[in-house]
Amino acid sequence: MHNKQITLANNKRSFENLISKHEYTHVLKIKEHIADYITDLMEEMEELLLPKRTEYRIIGMNSIQRNLEDTLKQVRIVEQTSGT
């Protein structure tokens, strides 16, 4: 990617140089090359975008918590002696 940035910076300088020197005929001659280069660069940049993030939700956690609390309220400890 670093090489692409250097190439882009160099191409930008070359283009600005041509415009500043009023070499519009040369710009028109390379117009198709410039358009193709920009199109290719945009396609590469789209491929570099971060992947889509998938989020998950667990539905019903509140009811599980409520059921657990209700169950714990009903739990009793019963002492039993063996043999009686």
State the amino acid at position 27 in one-letter form: V
Q: How confident is the model at residue 84 (pLDDT cuts 50, 70, 90)?
A: low
54 vs 72: CA distance, rounded Å: 35
Q: What is the pLDDT of residues 39-58, one digit of tens each?
A: 888 888 887 777 788 888 88
Pairwise pLDDT comparison (48 vs 29), residue with the higher score = 29
Kindly report the average pLDDT of the chain as a whole number: 84
| Structure token pair of residue 22 | 């009023």
* Residue 33 pLDDT: 87
Model confidence, pTM: 0.45
Rg of the chain (C-alpha set): 35
